[in-house]
Structure 1
């Protein structure tokens, strides 16, 4: 049996953004657009009707601040995952949005594949922050990873290796199988031109990734 597609509610007051995000999501096989909203009140109504898995929420809406909207959405459905989608990666309200319960932050100039990846990972229970909030590596890190062909998941595996964790420990921490961790690590080592874990960490350090 195939896994049901993730249902995403897109909340943004700019039609161009709504259209662009919708087009990006419709091109994937595992994500479907459950609905659209242009303000917080519409978002709450739509979320109640469509029961999305993930809400992609603009930081700045005309009728309510993002932290308030997040609290209202979670009060309505505690299981829903919320990603703040913003053009302002340094905005002071991002910290408040995360504190209110947002599960992720993605900047609007993020590449299409990274947006889809963030939605999938948040739906899987991860906290994903693709912005300069101090909660994660930020946009500069994403750029460096792309330059060297590394994915965010491979970076996470390397980060856990750098903390001295074994493959079984990394698997438990990230909710993956041991074989999956091994595969990601092997890919990361190949991309870094490393023969083992120690070399991989050394090369990643030299490149400013870790």
Structure 2
């Protein structure tokens, strides 16, 4: 039996969801909450398998509750169920640790299948949400590509080495070190050593 916690500030919505999901033989609604903080408390005390979390509720942002439940290491999977599908909402929820993002126009069958998939550890996304995420990924600028030698030079810069020390460590001339650094600066769009290291670390290049 998959145990479900509903978190939504509208009683009518909770009642409808409880009726829809409770009619499935393998699904059981074990609790309801009308706010994010209340949902967090029930998630900790009831240990549901799946939490269906609305985004915008009085008393706390749903995404913040997703983040706190995830950070607490609770075993439940949190799936956002909302009427909002803006790029910002979707990205915030995914980054906070949501296991899925569904819209309230989902049919009973779609919702039940999504809960089962989330309980199995799968990611569940409404088709329109998945399309928006793909558009976001395609729109992001390509991560700069550093050569092996440029990466090696920047790693040593990060360790605090001077150009002369880097040259000795890599068995290359100091002028060659400068050339690699200038090429790395150009690829990263920066003009100094500190910015280059910071940018490379932020993008997972070192």
Short-chain TM bin: 0.5 to 0.7
Aligned-partner SS, 2:53: strand
Secondary structure of residue in 2 paired with 1:96: helix
TM-score (norm 2): 0.61
Whole-Å Cα distance in 1 between the matches of residues 4 and 92 of structure 2? 23
Aligned to 1:135: 133
Q: In the TM superposition, what whole-angstrom CA distance separates every residue of 1:10-48 from its partner, at most 9, and x where no partner exists?
A: 000001100000000110011100100000111111112
Structure 1: stretches of 5+ with no match in the other structure: 138-210
TM-score normalised by the chain length of structure 1: 0.60
Aligned equivalent of 2:97: 101
Q: Does 1:24 align with 2:20?
A: yes
Q: How many residues align?
A: 133
Larger radius of gyration: 2
Residues 43 and 76 of structure 2 are in contact (CA less than 8 Å); yes or no, is this contact kept in structure 1? no
Shift of 1:62: 1.1
2:57 corresponds to: 61
Give ranges in structure 2 of 5+ residues lacking alignment.
136-206
Give the root-mean-square deviation of aligned CA atoms.
Answer: 1.7
After the TM superposition, which parts of structure 1 deviate over 4 Å for at least 4 consecutive aligned residues? none
Cα distance change, pair 123–136 in 1 and its aligned pair in 2 (3 A): farther
Does the aligned pair in 2 maintain the 1:90–1:132 contact within 8 Å? no
CA deviations over 1:107-154 (Å, ceiling 9, x no partner): 0011010000000001111111015332369xxxxxxxxxxxxxxxxx
| Bigger mean CA offset, 119-128 vs 89-98 | 89-98
Specify which of 96, 108, 115 is matched with residue 119 of structure 1. 115
